[in-house]
Amino acid sequence: MKPKTGTHVYTLLKCRRAVALDLVGDRDLKRELLPHEEFVLKRGRDHEDVIVEELGWPEPEFERGDWAQGAARTAEMLREGIEGVSQGILLGDDRLGIPDLLRREPGASDLGDFHYVVGDIKSSAAPRSDQILQVVFYSGMLAELQGREPDYGYLVLKDGREERFEIADYAPAMRQVERELDAIRSAPDDVRPFFGMACESCSWSDVCVPTLQDQDDLSLLPGVTPALRSTLESADVRTCTALASSDVAQVASASRLEPALVQRLQTSARARSDRTTLWAERSATPREDAALLHVLTDAFADRVLYFGVLHPADEDGEIRDAVPATRDDEWSAFQEVLHAVPRGARILHYGRSLPKWFEEHAHGREQTLAIESRFVDLALLFRGAVTLPGPAFTMSDYVSLVLDRDPHRTGHVGESAMRAIARDDDWLREKGRSDLRDLAALRARILETQATDRV
Amino acid sequence: MDLSLEQRLLRFLSREEEDERRSFRDLRSLPVEHRVLEGECVRGAVLRNAGPERFEFDAPENLSKFRDGDAVAVGDGFDFQAALPLVYAGYDAERGVVTLEKDRFARVDLSELERGETYCIDRRPLGIRGRLQDVVRAGFADARLRDVLEGHHELARDDARYERAITALEKTDLNDAQRAAGAAAIATESLALVQGPPGTGKTRLLAELIKILAKAGCRIALTAYTHRAVDNALRAIHAADPKVPLFKIGNAGANAPQLRKLGVHLNPRAVKLPQSGVVISGTCFAIAKMTAEERFHLTVFDEAGQMPIAHAMAGMMLAKRWVFFGDHAQLPPVITAHHADREVTESAFGRLHRVYGGELLDTSYRMNEGVCGVVSDTFYRGQLTSADSAASRIMPFDGGGRFDEILDPAHPVVLARVDHRQPGMRSPEEAALVADLCEDLVQRHGLDPRDIAVIAPFRAQVRLIRSALQQRTQLGDAKGLVVDTVERIQGQEREVVIVSLAVGDPDTLDRRAGFFFSTNRLNVALSRARTKAVLVASSGAFTALPRDAESLRAASVYKSLYETLPCVDVTGAYCGSEG
């Protein structure tokens, strides 16, 4: 049986099935990484290399794959009391850990009048649970080696900032994670696949998703969680088709779920069974002057790479866009495209990227609240207005399900950062414009369709 | 971009106001059935009785989160401009009747509402803030106040005054920690903070302090975020010394008749406020409207752990000395918008305590040893102890009943486990258990219903429990048995507290993690109990692994309680074969 690793801890928070497949799955069935996914990985490794190089801490030398030798060498280095170790190996009975950094701190341990703490290098702007738990996992192994708990754990984030936390604060969560990993290891084949947001970027998706589709699995319905699936199954509703034709009152009574919730799920099941989109009963949305504002971003660099405005917000509206070359150019690029929007017109956008950027960059400048108050998030409006034949986690899902268009026809949104670094402004413009037209079409189709295919 | 604290606070206020407008716009764009599921709408409400002031609607399926006093709009659920403004005045779950009242501030013709017609009842906005932005600007123009808020101030105290304060406080029956905190507050030349964990006599100390200061001729401003907190403090001061002249400015709040009986001068617009030996109180919103000419010897803030920094500035502008009473481990300020800048969402107490520290009141007169031990270890790093007078108290208990294992006083804090997997904000399984426990406490163990409080995180669960209690005929008239969210019960205490967590699906908890996994709320809920706290929950509530790091840290506190509290599993009785 393979040991538990930090990667398993990290993956568990996204998908239990992925952990099981990492442990026992046929690696040949994993899909190849796409170029932009390779790019993200490489960027993370480069970021790590820069920080490690600055520190200048040695790595343990050992035969590739000989973890026992690596662990022994790491232990020797720690006993010597050197300032720090990079990519050390920690080995337990059923655990293997390769923390990015082990740093010496004052405070006696079995190693001497000092001890070590664990650090990991991450490319995110703020610490996440999975990253913290990874460090807590390594810290537990380190505690066994040095005979004391490390004083704290830390993450080095993308801007080089060090974020410290107390290991004890997360110990109960870590114990749960270990229990879950043990359960998965003891019966990996019992872990059922579940369709979720993580599937799109998971390299095991070709193994799970077709199975779920074949089984007409309830996880293919929006809003269904693993526990909700089990509850429905215990009420003898095992497929989307079965739910579509079931008696809501009966299912609600057998499952003890709210009838209103069962009704909503049944509506989704019907949309899926009929491969159609259903519009909820709503009043006519008055046609108003509005523009669409779209951004392409690079989360790692904390940058907006493209601003585009479509006005009026129809597919044949006029586009004005800008590709800011640096962070300092972003505000002027934003203002430039905003000139195309008449004063007072609503500014439609999709998701949190635009307001997040705006909040961080706009304050202190004049009239910014007047602009922000005109923002309308289409993601929220779409969610309430329509029942789709499948889950929609991103704008791309809406484009596929509602418009039946390939959302990646001009390239994957994940490529944006890669293209920006390559100075491929044409690609950014083409992608941004195509997204704007898609959003306009979605708006027309979802928000302005009246009286047809109603729930 | 580096912004000053002033700019960040102004942005905070703007974003809060804008968010309120936006959330209503977003809510109204949702179809009726979604609004119903969100608890923001009652559909199919049929007008049964229409009086000039009160309106009753038949609404057997009321899933709403509305509570008494909420502003609502009544109409067809589509055309909000034509909807009529009313005020929510309660729901009788047994009869399935929603009562609405006329909004005395709205001038509309309510005769349009027709008996027998079906309506949708939706929430409507009230509009907030405004003047606070001016307060923030004016506050930062004052160099001393700016230094204090930015953390550059050096605390100073008058030693002679400190000695006099110690002498005065020795004549009281306050404990050592209270005296030390009181003397520090009286002697400060700028700022003093008193952290008062549950039941540690924070309000009592506040009253004694104000009594001494008023007697010494001080003109004292007293403020808090809510009317409830202001009124509580006024009552305590009156109890300490009925001769202290008390004034309350602005809206009098719901307790006006009671305050009047105590001799509090309410909304004294026409009266010139006295210049010495007096307490002039008001919520921070009312205080913000005072003229700049009004000056005080010091401002006392109560429940400052719930007061945002910007709101506290209104009170700080009135004086040069400030005493903050609060506890940042209890309820935080109510913040509605998403703020990337987390620091400005902190409470005034939390921020100032982080920079300047404060005095801790370390003895709880409320909780017995068992309850206090759990609260202290979980939320106060073991610094809190139970007073001798409270330590050995136990709840009345007459063994031989169905719930002995749960209610046994030998386990002052206990987990009653019902392993449902409800994904929403309501659990009928937990509601049934809570109602049975209440019935047992009253019938078998002889507790007065007024000695019991039931707390749930969501209003939907509160209503479900109230409905379950109404169906227990054995409970008779359970008046006084409080069932509410934790926000409504801060400051109160009961012999027994039952906390229902409601959610059983760990995956839906990830979405609500920021709200649900609040150690502050859990602290307030458990620490209302004098002798017994029962946590009613599904194991699913403890197995979520939220993605947000702060929520995971809070979830770990819940997991730790799950691992350590004595647990009684009653799943079989309440979830049947589905459990």
Chain A residue at shortest CA distance from B1: A361
CA distances from A277 to A264, A391, A439, A449 (A): 14, 12, 17, 11
Q: Do the Cβ atoms of A170 and B36 come within 8 Å? A: no
B29 contact A CB<8A: yes
- Residues on chain B touching A177 (C-beta within 8 angstroms): 545
- pTM of this structure: 0.85
Q: List B452's β-bridge partners, or say none.
A: B496
Q: Do the Cβ atoms of A234 and B34 come within 8 Å? A: no
Q: Do the Cβ atoms of B549 and A169 come within 8 Å? A: no
Least confident span in B145-159, B279-293, B337-351: B279-293
Q: Do the Cβ atoms of A172 and B33 come within 8 Å? A: no
Instruction: Return d(Cα B46, Cα B56) in angstroms, integer.
Output: 8
Residue B579: the pLDDT is 36
Residue B441's pLDDT band (cuts 50, 70, 90):
very high
B31 contact A CB<8A: yes
- Cβ atoms of A411 and A432 within 8 Å: the answer is no
CA distances from B121 to A330, B35, B466 (A): 45, 10, 21
pLDDT in tens, A38-49: 999 999 999 999
Which of A172, A363, A380 is nearest residue B560 as measured by Cβ atoms?
Answer: A172
Percent of chain B residues topping a pLDDT of 70: 93
3-state secondary structure of B422: coil
Residue B271's pLDDT band (cuts 50, 70, 90):
low
pLDDT higher than threshold 60 for residue B284? yes
Residue A60: the pLDDT is 97
pLDDT in tens, A337-348: 999 999 889 999
- Residues on chain B touching A280 (C-beta within 8 angstroms): 31, 33-34
pLDDT in tens, A3-27: 999 999 999 999 999 999 999 999 9
Closest among B271, B268, B304, B259 to B286, alpha carbons compared: B268
- Cβ atoms of B406 and B487 within 8 Å: the answer is no
Q: List A120's β-bridge partners, or say none.
A: A155
B505 contact A CB<8A: yes
Chain B residue at shortest CA distance from A128: B549
- Residues on chain A touching B14 (C-beta within 8 angstroms): 369
Q: Do the Cβ atoms of B31 and A257 come within 8 Å? A: no
CA distances from B12 to A343, A367, B439 (A): 25, 16, 46
B412 contact A CB<8A: no
Q: Do the Cβ atoms of B29 and A384 come within 8 Å? A: yes
B296-331 per-residue burial string, b: 16 or more CB within 10 A, e: under 16: bbbbbbbbbbbbbbbbbbbbbbbbbbbbbbbbbbbb
pLDDT in tens, A109-154: 999 999 999 999 998 888 999 999 999 999 999 999 999 999 899 9
ipTM here:
0.90
Closest among B331, B301, B296, B294 to B230, alpha carbons compared: B301
B548 contact A CB<8A: yes
Least confident span in A213-222, A225-234, B337-346: B337-346
Which of A170, A256, A356 is nearest residue B553 as measured by Cβ atoms?
Answer: A170
pLDDT higher than threshold 60 for residue A443? yes
pLDDT higher than threshold 60 for residue B577? no
Mean pLDDT computed over B517-533: 96
Residue A283: the pLDDT is 56
Residue A455's pLDDT band (cuts 50, 70, 90):
very low
Which of B33, B555, B575 is nearest residue A280 as measured by Cβ atoms?
Answer: B33
SS (HEC) of B133-147: HHHHHHHHHCHHHHH
Instruction: Return d(Cα B303, Cα B324) in angstroms, integer.
Output: 8
Q: Do the Cβ atoms of B36 and A361 come within 8 Å? A: no
Residue B134's pLDDT band (cuts 50, 70, 90):
confident
Q: Do the Cβ atoms of B545 and A228 come within 8 Å? A: no
Chain B residue at shortest CA distance from A267: B33
pLDDT in tens, A283-300: 555 567 899 999 999 988
Residue B270: the pLDDT is 52
Mean pLDDT of chain A: 91
Which of B31, B557, B560 is nearest residue A384 as measured by Cβ atoms?
Answer: B31
Which of A230, A260, A380 is nearest residue B26 as measured by Cβ atoms?
Answer: A380
Residue B285: the pLDDT is 78
Q: Do the Cβ atoms of A381 and B508 come within 8 Å? A: no
Å between B516 CA and nearest CA of chain A: 16
Write the Ramachandran bin of B381: left for phi over 0, alpha for psi from -120 to 50, otherwise beta.
left
Q: Do the Cβ atoms of A175 and B563 come within 8 Å? A: yes
Instruction: Return d(Cα A218, Cα A224) in angstroms, integer.
Output: 7
Chain A residue at shortest CA distance from B546: A129
Q: Do the Cβ atoms of B545 and A364 come within 8 Å? A: no
